[in-house]
């Protein structure tokens, strides 16, 4: 029996055209004007206990609407969600007592008090036995390096420090399922790493089910084995992360700032067609997309450097948006993906 | 003319701010009418069978309540002007303001007049109209009273502004601007006669109120309007108001210079 | 269940006290400022009574009893239910309401327990002084029964204030800026600072049957000073109860709307 079961889940928003002012407010109650918009269009999936699943999609794809329905914040228009056998929005108390969540920039901690006070309050709210709470607290303190932080008022913490404390707050009551919405947004590499390792660790050791939405592919790659991609309210991919990494996430775009390029460069690039594609070129910069399983970034540089003075370079990882876009194209054309892209080379 | 244009340009900033809050206008008008209604009934109960108390008749007191409310909501409430002054000095923006080709106090005055005009239109006029329908409001006693009232009212608003400026400068030395504003509002609504005509005050409080400039913000203009102060007496009242403008102007200038010195010497 | 909520409220209460201690200076200034504001209101009544001996048959201390009772009820609401004012701007608009919906406890309880408003404490103390002084000057021998009744009336009054605010605050689920609606309805309580019989009958009817703030001051006061409205004195707790039943229905309707629109 899966811990999360989603069947034909459908959500249509009725957007109320709100009017300003006291009269407008009264008008809103008696004569609301609505515009409909489908946010989630009959999706299906199920998640087993202890899985770590990445749930990704572009902005407005229906990601957060799904998460809100899973957590019971939103009621579905039709279809069914079962979380541990409960309907989240109907059995709110029952469902909430087994879940934990981090929602982006919103804090669940008391702004004017140190995190430890929030943890203690959570202990009381969820009836966590004292011994278990103390054990969790000391484990998390060590893993997330919170020793100093939990005694400082939240308002004085930096974004990264706050997020580490926030993550601990989502796990401290031993939830069966934790929803993490953009837990690493805006954080530096060190903090990201700490948070990823923590999630991985807890997921493995305590078999907590983790649902992670993020824009950072690295998060998914490190934490999750499975990924669900949603676009336009529909699931466009549901499967192993390796598979998608191999077919899509293997591309990188390198961006060179150059000077004094020789005319031979064009010919050279032409001969490397197999490895380099989507080349765009102007006298001062060159953009090249490459397959990192076939060629390394330094090899790309070696190809170009004899013909140009490279002033600067940056390497871009593919964004979730571009992956989804590519996936979508792949579905429509049902063609071999690489071929299609290779054919797109323009120079 | 140029000065006027400048004043309007500065005041213009506030129109937008005020217009954003349409629902605030509705709520404000309602709450102020409600205050007028409460005071109306209290005064009716106070007068009972009597037609005159302390030289103010039963029908005059209604007009007094309405006009004093108008002056209160447009003047004494101050619309954050004193807070604005404190903030601008505190965060050091005053040094930029001092670079402008217009005196800071004069500019603030222009800003205040702009706020006054628009709060008058948005909050004052609706309150007058509704009050007029509900209770009736008498016209100035004579034509002369009307003219003198307008002069007295303008002087009153100037005194009110100078008090606000003074409070704003005090705010520079303390941290809690909200507390200061509440304190000022409570004190002024009393000593200006906005709640009760000064004539009703018992002995010693009356002497204090008579001595201070605050009565010239509400009580003096309204008694002129009602015709209870007229002729030579009215001219004398205007002169006293003018004297207070001069005294307060001097005080605020001295205070302002001291505060600014502190900012420029310490660098904020 | 109820026991758990009481226990939890005490926990929330402790946290709020900690915050209060963090901001000691703000606490003192806030309490002083609102105290001063209320004192100018009492001063107004005092000056009025320097000119008359009774107001439609009510003496100075009759009126201060009404005034004091309303202050007590009002400040209970101010201290314990102040978070309702910010439901719109701080919770719904900023998305923090979702956080309340993710806890295994009632979101309304969570919302209310989240804040203790220190500014109301000064008013409560002043209201207490005024009420006790009025009762003393009126030579009323309350006895234990009288004291118990006063407590019952004040608690009912506070509940009436809170229920009315809850109803108007629930509009935050639909309206962008709910503050002014809450404020408009709330401001009607100012009528109840004075005896109802000085006003036009219509105002009395509104304050009794539509926005029943009179049950927080005027009718309870009539139990102690007999001015001919005693028959309604005992209804206060019932009014409070009925209002809360209505308010909770409205609230549930609001939540239902929120979870189906997510805005």
Mutate to test the interface with A, among C175, C182, C186, C263 (most CBs of A within 10 A): C175
Contact residues on chain B for C67, CB-CB shorter than 8 A:
none
Task: For residue C142, give the 3-state DSSP assignment.
Answer: coil
Separation CA B195–CA C37 (nearest Å): 13
Separation CA C33–CA C121 (nearest Å): 11
Contact residues on chain A for C19, CB-CB shorter than 8 A:
110, 112-113
Q: Are B219 and B193 in contact, with CB atoms under 8 Å apart? A: yes
Q: How many domains are there within chain C?
A: 1
Tell me the pLDDT band of A343, cut-offs 50, 70 and 90. very low
Q: Are A256 and A87 in contact, with CB atoms under 8 Å apart? A: no
Chain C nearest C-alpha distance from B239 (Å): 29
Where would I find the H helices in chain B?
2-20, 22-47, 58-71, 81-90, 94-97, 104-119, 125-135, 143-173, 177-191, 203-211, 219-226, 231-266
Contact residues on chain B for A21, CB-CB shorter than 8 A:
22-23, 26
Mutate to test the interface with C, among A23, A64, A92 (most CBs of C within 10 A): A92
Q: How high is the ipTM of this complex? A: 0.89
Cα–chain center distance at B55:
24
* Stronger pLDDT, A329 or A55, i.e. the higher one: A55
Separation CA C83–CA C91 (nearest Å): 10
Q: Hey, CA dihedral for B135, B141, B143, B145, is it positive or negative?
A: negative
Axis-axis angle for helices B104-119, B2-20 (nearest 10): 50
Q: Each residue of A10-66: pLDDT tens digit?
A: 998 877 666 655 566 566 656 666 778 899 999 999 999 999 999 988 878 888 899
* Residue C117 clears pLDDT 90, i.e. is over it: no
Residue indicated by tokens 């790659």: A221
Put simply, the answer to whether B26 touches A21 (Cβ < 8 Å) is yes
* Residue B203 clears pLDDT 90, i.e. is over it: no
* Residue C231 clears pLDDT 70, i.e. is over it: yes
Put simply, the answer to whether C102 touches A101 (Cβ < 8 Å) is yes
Is beta strand A234-240 parallel, antiparallel or unpaired with respect to A209-213? unpaired
Q: Are B97 and B266 in contact, with CB atoms under 8 Å apart? A: no
Separation CA C245–CA C35 (nearest Å): 33
Separation CA A105–CA B168 (nearest Å): 37
Q: How far lies B13's CA from each of B7, B23, B93, B115, B160, in Å?
A: 11, 19, 17, 9, 21
Q: Hey, CA dihedral for C115, C118, C121, C122, is it positive or negative?
A: negative
Which of A100-104, A168-172, B12-16, B226-230 has the weakest average pLDDT?
Answer: B12-16
Domain hosting C26: range is: 2-261
pLDDT at res. A336 = 42
Q: Which domains, ranges and CATH numbers included, belong to chain A?
A: 43-246 (3.40.50.300), 250-342 (3.30.70.100)
Put simply, the answer to whether C37 touches B35 (Cβ < 8 Å) is no
Mutate to test the interface with B, among A20, A21, A25, A26 (most CBs of B within 10 A): A21
Tell me the pLDDT band of A339, cut-offs 50, 70 and 90. very low
Residue of B71, B73, B63 lying closest to B29 (CA atoms): B73
Rounded to 10 degrees, the C-alpha dihedral C6/C11/C14/C19 comes to -120
Separation CA A177–CA C195 (nearest Å): 58
* Residue A188 clears pLDDT 60, i.e. is over it: yes
Chain B nearest C-alpha distance from C183 (Å): 7
Tell me the pLDDT band of B264, cut-offs 50, 70 and 90. low
Separation CA C137–CA C60 (nearest Å): 10
Provide mean pLDDT across the span A124-131: 94
DSSP B123: I
For chain A, how long is the longest CA-to-CA vector? Answer: 74
Contact residues on chain C for B190, CB-CB shorter than 8 A:
40, 43-44
């Amino acid at each position: 029996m899966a811990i999360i079961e989603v069947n034909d889940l459908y959500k249509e928003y009725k957007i109320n055209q709100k009017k300003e002012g006291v009269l407008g407010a009264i008008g809103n109650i008696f004569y609301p004007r609505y515009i409909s918009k489908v946010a989630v269009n009959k999706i299906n999936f199920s998640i087993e206990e202890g899985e770590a699943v990445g749930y990704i999609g572009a902005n407005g794809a229906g990601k957060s609407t799904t998460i809100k329905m899973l957590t019971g914040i939103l009621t579905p228009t039709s279809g069914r969600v079962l979380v541990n056998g409960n309907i989240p929005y109907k059995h709110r108390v029952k469902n909430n007592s087994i879940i934990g969540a981090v929602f982006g920039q919103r804090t669940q901690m008391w702004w004017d008090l140190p995190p430890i006070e929030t943890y203690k309050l959570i202990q009381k709210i969820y009836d966590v036995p004292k011994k278990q709470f103390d054990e969790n607290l000391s484990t998390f303190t060590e893993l997330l390096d919170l020793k100093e932080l939990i005694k400082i008022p939240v308002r004085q913490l930096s974004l990264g420090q706050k997020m580490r404390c926030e993550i601990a707050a989502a796990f401290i009551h031993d939830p069966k399922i934790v929803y993490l919405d953009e837990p690493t947004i805006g954080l530096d590499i060190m903090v990201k790493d700490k948070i990823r390792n923590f999630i991985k660790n807890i997921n493995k050791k305590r078999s907590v089910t983790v649902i992670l939405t993020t824009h950072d592919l690295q998060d998914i790659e490190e934490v999750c084995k499975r990924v669900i991609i949603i676009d336009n309210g529909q699931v466009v991919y549901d499967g192993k992360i390796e598979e998608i990494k191999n077919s899509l996430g293997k591309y990188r775009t390198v961006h060179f700032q150059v000077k004094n390029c020789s005319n031979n460069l064009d010919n050279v690039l032409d001969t490397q067609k197999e490895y380099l594609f989507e080349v765009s070129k102007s006298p001062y910069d060159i953009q090249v997309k490459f397959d990192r399983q076939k060629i390394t970034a330094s090899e790309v540089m070696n190809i170009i450097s004899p013909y140009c003075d490279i002033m600067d370079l940056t390497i871009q990882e593919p964004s979730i948006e571009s992956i989804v876009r590519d996936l979508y194209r792949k579905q429509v054309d049902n063609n071999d993906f690489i071929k299609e892209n290779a054919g797109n080379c323009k120079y | 003319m140029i000065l006027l244009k400048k004043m309007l340009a500065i005041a213009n900033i506030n129109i937008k701010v005020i217009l954003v809050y349409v629902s605030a206008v509705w709520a404000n008008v309602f709450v102020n009418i409600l205050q007028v209604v409460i005071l109306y009934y209290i005064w009716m109960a106070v007068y009972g069978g009597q037609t005159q108390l302390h030289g103010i008749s039963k029908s005059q007191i209604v007009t007094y309540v309405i006009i004093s409310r108008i002056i209160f909501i447009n003047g004494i409430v101050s619309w954050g002007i004193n807070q604005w002054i404190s903030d601008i000095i505190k965060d050091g923006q005053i040094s930029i303001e001092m670079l402008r080709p217009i005196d800071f106090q004069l500019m603030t005055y222009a800003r205040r007049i702009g706020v006054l005009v628009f709060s008058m239109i948005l909050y004052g006029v609706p309150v007058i109209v509704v009050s007029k329908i509900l209770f009736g409001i008498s016209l100035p006693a004579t034509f002369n009273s009307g003219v003198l009232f307008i002069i007295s009212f303008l002087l009153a608003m100037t005194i009110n502004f100078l008090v606000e400026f003074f409070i704003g400068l005090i705010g520079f030395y303390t941290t809690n601007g909200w507390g200061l504003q509440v304190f000022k509002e409570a004190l002024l609504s009393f000593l200006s006669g906005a709640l009760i005509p000064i004539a009703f005050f018992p002995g010693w409080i009356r002497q204090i109120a008579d001595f201070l400039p605050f009565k010239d913000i509400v009580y003096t203009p309204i008694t002129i309007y009602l015709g209870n102060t007229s002729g030579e007496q009215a001219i004398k009242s205007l002169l006293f108001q003018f004297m207070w403008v001069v005294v307060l102007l001097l005080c605020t200038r001295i205070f302002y210079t001291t505060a600014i010195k502190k900012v420029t010497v310490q660098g904020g | 269940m109820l026991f758990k909520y009481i226990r939890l409220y005490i926990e929330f209460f402790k946290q709020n006290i900690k915050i209060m201690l963090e901001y000691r200076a703000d606490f003192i200034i806030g309490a002083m400022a609102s105290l001063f504001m209320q004192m100018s209101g009492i001063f107004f009544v005092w000056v009025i009574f320097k000119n008359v001996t009774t107001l439609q048959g009510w003496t100075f201390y009759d009126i201060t009893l009404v005034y004091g009772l309303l202050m007590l009820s009002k400040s209970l609401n101010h201290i314990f239910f102040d978070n309702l004012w910010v439901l719109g701007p701080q919770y719904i608009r900023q998305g923090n309401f979702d956080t309340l919906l993710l806890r295994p406890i009632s979101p309304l309880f969570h919302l209310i327990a989240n804040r203790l408003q220190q500014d109301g404490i000064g008013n409560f103390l002043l209201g207490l002084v005024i009420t006790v002084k009025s009762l003393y000057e009126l030579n009323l021998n309350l006895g234990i029964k009288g004291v118990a009744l006063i407590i019952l009336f004040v608690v009912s009054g506070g509940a009436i204030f809170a229920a009315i605010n809850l109803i108007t605050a629930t509009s935050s689920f639909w309206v962008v800026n709910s503050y002014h609606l809450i404020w408009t309805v709330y401001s009607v309580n100012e009528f109840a600072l004075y005896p109802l019989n000085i006003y036009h009958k219509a105002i009395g009817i509104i304050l009794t049957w539509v926005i029943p703030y009179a049950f927080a001051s005027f009718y309870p006061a009539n139990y102690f000073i007999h001015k001919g409205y005693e028959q309604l004195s005992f209804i206060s707790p019932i009014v409070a109860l009925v209002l809360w039943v209505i308010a909770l229905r409205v609230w549930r309707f609001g939540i239902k709307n929120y979870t189906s629109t997510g805005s």
